[in-house]
Amino acid sequence: MADKSGAELISEARKRIKEVSVAEVLEMQARGEPAVYLDIREQNEWNLGHLPKATFLPRGVIETTVEQRIPRTAKVIIYCASGNRSVLAAETMQHMGYHDVASMAGGIRKWADSGGEVEG
């Protein structure tokens, strides 16, 4: 198997997962659509601010912790800082049997730039 860069892994995973835009997430919230907003950044990033009512679960512990925290039947929107780690996390969760999972393109940076509420 040929070596791949991190960018190549993310690009390939992006083709296998669902991505939603910040605008789509804002519309979901406006409709009151239930979803788990999963922040997979590190603790120091979370402390700087996060989506309201988000669930914090760093990417490094998803495989060992997510099943205790989020039911497989939940609609899950995963985000990170820029939308790369969340792509890989979405793919991992799909492998684990989560069927309604998506990565938020652009991450919390795009969210904040688009006027999305940030708390913390």
Determine, yes or no, domain membership for 33.
yes
pLDDT at residue 1, as a whole number: 77
When divided into structural domains, the chain yields a total of 1
The domain of 57 spans: 6-113
pTM of the model: 0.96
Rounded (5°) CA angle 16-19-22: 170
Per-residue pLDDT tens listing for the chain (120 residues): 789 999 999 999 999 999 999 999 999 999 999 999 999 999 999 999 999 999 999 999 999 999 999 999 999 999 999 999 999 999 999 999 999 999 999 999 999 999 999 998
Determine, yes or no, domain membership for 70.
yes
Determine, yes or no, domain membership for 119.
no
Task: Report the C-alpha gap between 42 and 71 in whole angstroms.
Answer: 22
Determine, yes or no, domain membership for 1.
no
Task: Report the C-alpha gap between 86 and 19 in whole angstroms.
Answer: 9
Determine, yes or no, domain membership for 118.
no
> CATH number for the domain including 87?
3.40.250.10
Query: What are the C-alpha distances in Å from 30 to residues 33, 71, 120?
Result: 8, 23, 21
